[in-house]
Structures are given as C-alpha cells and as structure tokens.
C-alpha cells in the first residue's frame, strides 16, 4: 500500500528544515558575537550618533519581522487550504492584492524613508559648538591625529572627553579612506583634496574601536584606531601631555636608546617632541609607549613586538612605509627601552 502523500506544506518544511538546522547555530553565534561588549557593533551604541543608527536598524528589523511572519502565514494558508479555496472561490481578490501588495508596502517604505531622512539630517548636522576639534589624517595605513590648539600629534588613538561633542575634521594624505567608529558614528569617507567633517559624542566612558572602512590597499585591515572617551579631568591631563615635550630618558639604557634613535634613520621619518627628531613621514612617536597597539592595530604594543617591528615591520605588516632597520643587536634593547619610556 502506498504511503499517504505528504501535503505540499510538509514537503516544503522537510526540504527547508534540514539545511536551516545546519545554519541556525552559526547564525545564532554570529548574532551573539555582534552583541558582545568587546566588539565594535553598531547595535551596541555608546553615543548619540550610533544610537540613531541603531534605532533605525531596529525599526526596520521589526517591520521586516512583521512582514515576514505575515507573508509566511499567507503562504502556509495558501498551500494548506489551496484545494478548498479553489473550490469555494468567492468574490474578486483584486482589492486584497492591491491593498496588501502595493498600498501597504508603499506606505511602509515611504514611512521608513522619512524616518531615514530625519536621521540622516540629524547625523549630518555637526555640533554647533564643539568642545574639542580633532584633525584625523588618513595615511596608508595609519591615522595621524592632531588637536586644534595643540602643537602635539599622536597616531591611531583619539582621546575625547565623555559626554561632549567633538568635531572631527578629516583629510587624506594619499588615497580614499573612511573613518568609522561603529559604536559612535556612521562612516565618513576621506576624499583626496577635500576637507570632510563628522562629529563624535560618547555618552559613556570607555574605549571604542574605529576602523578604516574604505578599501585602501594591502593593509586596509590594519588601519584601525581607538577612541578613548574619558572624564574631562583625565582628558585635560592627556591633552596637556600631548602638547608638551616627550619625557627625557631617565636611565642609562634609555639614554643610549635615545642616542641610537637620533643616530639611526628613525629621526628622519619620526618626530619625538623636544628632540632633534622632527621627521614627518611616519607617526609622531612622542607617546608611543602609551599607545594601544603598534602598526594601527597590527600588533600588541609591548617590548617584544616593538623589537620585531623595528627590525623588520614588513613581516607583520607587509607593504607599510617603514623599511627594515639594520639596528645592531646590542643596541636594540636600548632603543626599545627608550621608546617604551615615551609615555
Ligand atoms: Cu584606509 Cu582602508
């Protein structure tokens, strides 16, 4: 005797169900990863700009959920009750098709578009009066960071006072880059020959990871930066250090290291404020010992990685502008000691 033929709905569920079970776990894990406190998720906003983006995202998400459930319900109904509906067809379905298929979607799309325009205008409208103005200059592949009113410079790290609006002026020294701090603001592209502007406001203290979001060459992925939102007093202290001369060497090995630094090629590309090193090709190193990473997120910032970076940064960040440095092995520890003391 033949088995009872499965209903069309059951056949569809059987076909779709198995692959779905296989993909459900990775999808759930990805969703959870996006919400982990250490990931730069735009859905974990830390400030006004990203909150707006997250709000728009959730609005669209829940509308999509409602539409999806509705469509699935109609589809199931059509599959299960197809025969009965065909035999008992009554009335003209045109009005339903027009309303549910055209009028309702048009209304939803126009409404979402309107909310999107409102948010776009709010995000584009920078601070009337910024507490702090930062210049972020994109290079292949690192961020030069300067502050209006300060002679100092740093790299790949932007300190801001928490709860205050910060104006960010963006320029590129070479190709297109894009400035993105997912937890604080949407992307702003850096376009050659143009001065672009965006703004940040962090409503809670902490560190927010930023990333170049426009493909810019071999080391695009290693063009990260960190926004450090700190209480006003801490920010003021940091800002004062930024403008001051780098700390002088305190120990014999630091002194020998400074000597090596000034004699080697380092000083022709890098600046250390208060010394004869005034190179402008690479990042200012006056506070390199305090930074969160080496090579714009390529390596952790510690003595071992710093030694490797000096000897040959091409192994960890191929293509970057710094050639291997022929520093004698007996001088390398002094050089590391000196650079680590710059904080
Ligand atoms: Cu700079 Cu991608």
The reply to whether 269 and 305 lie within a common domain is yes
Look at residue 65 in the predicted model and tell me its pLDDT: 97
Q: Could you tell me the distance, in angstroms and rounded to a whole number, from the CA of residue 123 to the centre of ligand 1?
A: 22
Ligand 1 neighbours, Cβ below 6 Å, are 138, 141, 177, 212, 214-216, 220, 223
- Grade residue 7 by pLDDT with cuts at 50, 70 and 90: low
Look at residue 269 in the predicted model and tell me its pLDDT: 94
- Grade residue 93 by pLDDT with cuts at 50, 70 and 90: confident
The reply to whether 97 and 162 lie within a common domain is no
Residues paired with residue 200 on neighbouring β-strands, in sequence order: 166
The reply to whether 140 and 194 lie within a common domain is yes
User: Is residue 45, in this structure, part of any structural domain at all?
Assistant: no
Instruction: Measure Cα distances from 292 to 4, 142, 313 in Å.
Output: 66, 13, 17
pLDDT digits over 294-343, tens only? 999 999 999 999 999 999 999 999 999 999 988 888 899 999 999 999 99
Q: What is the mean pLDDT of residues 75-86?
A: 77
- Rounded mean pLDDT of the chain? 88
User: Is residue 197, in this structure, part of any structural domain at all?
Assistant: yes
Of ligand 1's listed atoms, the one at least distance from the Cα of 140 is 1
Task: Please tell me the total count of domains within the chain.
Answer: 3
Q: Do residues 205 and 231 make contact, with C-beta atoms less than 8 angstroms apart?
A: yes
The reply to whether 140 and 109 lie within a common domain is no
Of ligand 1's listed atoms, the one at least distance from the Cα of 177 is 1
Of ligand 1's listed atoms, the one at least distance from the Cα of 217 is 2
Task: Answer with the one of 242, 265, 287 that is the final residue of a domain.
Answer: 242
Minimum mean pLDDT range among 45-59, 64-78, 90-104, 139-153: 90-104
62, pLDDT greater than 90: yes
The reply to whether 232 and 282 lie within a common domain is no
Nearest CA to ligand 1 atom 1: 177
The reply to whether 211 and 270 lie within a common domain is no
Q: Could you tell me the distance, in angstroms and rounded to a whole number, from the CA of residue 168 to the centre of ligand 1?
A: 17
- Grade residue 18 by pLDDT with cuts at 50, 70 and 90: low
Q: What is the mean pLDDT of residues 38-64?
A: 91
CATH of residue 167's domain is 2.60.40.420
The reply to whether 258 and 335 lie within a common domain is yes
Look at residue 124 in the predicted model and tell me its pLDDT: 85
1, pLDDT greater than 50: no
Q: Which domain holds residue 315?
A: 252-340
Look at residue 80 in the predicted model and tell me its pLDDT: 87
Determine how many CB atoms are found less than 10 A away from the CB of residue 299.
Answer: 18
User: Is residue 294, in this structure, part of any structural domain at all?
Assistant: yes
Look at residue 101 in the predicted model and tell me its pLDDT: 87
Q: Could you tell me the distance, in angstroms and rounded to a whole number, from the CA of residue 189 to the centre of ligand 1?
A: 10
User: Is residue 199, in this structure, part of any structural domain at all?
Assistant: yes
Q: What is the mean pLDDT of residues 83-96?
A: 68
User: Is residue 84, in this structure, part of any structural domain at all?
Assistant: no
The reply to whether 140 and 222 lie within a common domain is yes
d(CA 314, CA 303): 17
Q: Could you tell me the distance, in angstroms and rounded to a whole number, from the CA of residue 141 to the centre of ligand 1?
A: 7
User: Is residue 145, in this structure, part of any structural domain at all?
Assistant: yes
Of ligand 1's listed atoms, the one at least distance from the Cα of 138 is 1
User: Is residue 316, in this structure, part of any structural domain at all?
Assistant: yes
Q: Do residues 163 and 48 make contact, with C-beta atoms less than 8 angstroms apart?
A: no
The reply to whether 220 and 145 lie within a common domain is yes
Residues of the chain with pLDDT > 90, as a percent, come to: 74
User: Is residue 53, in this structure, part of any structural domain at all?
Assistant: no
Look at residue 36 in the predicted model and tell me its pLDDT: 45
Look at residue 87 in the predicted model and tell me its pLDDT: 56
The reply to whether 281 and 326 lie within a common domain is yes
Look at residue 144 in the predicted model and tell me its pLDDT: 97
Look at residue 91 in the predicted model and tell me its pLDDT: 67
- Smallest CA-to-CA distance from 275 within 247, 298, 308, 252 is with 247
Residues contacting residue 196 through CB under 8 Å, at least 6 positions apart: 169, 170, 171, 188, 189, 190
Q: If you search the block for the tokens 């995000």, which residue do you land on?
A: 123
Q: If you search the block for the tokens 């199931």, which residue do you land on?
A: 76
């Amino acid at each position: 005797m033949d088995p009872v033929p499965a209903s069309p709905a059951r056949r569809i569920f059987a076909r779709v169900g198995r692959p779905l079970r296989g993909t459900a776990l990775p999808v759930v894990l990805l969703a959870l990863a996006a919400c982990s406190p250490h990931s730069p998720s735009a859905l974990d906003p830390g400030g006004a700009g990203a909150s707006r983006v997250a709000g728009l995202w959730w609005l669209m998400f829940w509308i999509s959920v409602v539409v999806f459930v509705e469509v699935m319900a109609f589809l199931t109904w059509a599959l299960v009750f197809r025969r009965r509906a065909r035999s008992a067809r009554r009335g003209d379905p045109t009005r339903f098709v027009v309303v549910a298929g055209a009028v309702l979607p048009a209304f939803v799309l126009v409404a979402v578009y309107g909310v999107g325009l409102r948010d776009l205008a709010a995000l584009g409208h920078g601070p009337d009066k910024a507490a702090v103005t930062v210049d972020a200059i994109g290079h292949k592949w690192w961020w030069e960071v300067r502050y209006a009113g300060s002679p100092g410079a740093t790299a790949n790290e932007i300190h801001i006072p928490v709860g205050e609006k910060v104006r960010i002026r963006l320029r590129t020294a070479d190709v297109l880059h894009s400035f993105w701090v997912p937890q604080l603001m949407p992307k702003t592209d850096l376009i050659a020959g143009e001065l672009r502007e965006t703004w940040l406001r962090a409503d809670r203290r902490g560190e927010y990871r930023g990333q170049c979001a426009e493909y810019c060459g071999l080391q695009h992925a290693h063009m990260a930066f960190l926004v450090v939102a700190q209480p006003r007093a801490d920010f003021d202290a940091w800002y004062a250090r930024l403008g001051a001369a780098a700390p002088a060497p305190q120990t014999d090995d630091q002194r020998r290291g400074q000597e090596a630094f000034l004699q080697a090629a380092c000083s022709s590309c890098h600046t250390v404020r208060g010394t004869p090193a005034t190179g402008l090709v690479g990042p200012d190193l006056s506070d390199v010992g305090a930074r969160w990473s080496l090579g714009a997120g390529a390596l952790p910032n510690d003595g071992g990685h710093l030694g490797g970076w000096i000897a040959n940064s091409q192994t960890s960040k191929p293509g970057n502008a710094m050639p291997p440095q022929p520093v004698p092995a007996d001088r390398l520890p002094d050089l590391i000691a000196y650079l680590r003391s710059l904080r």
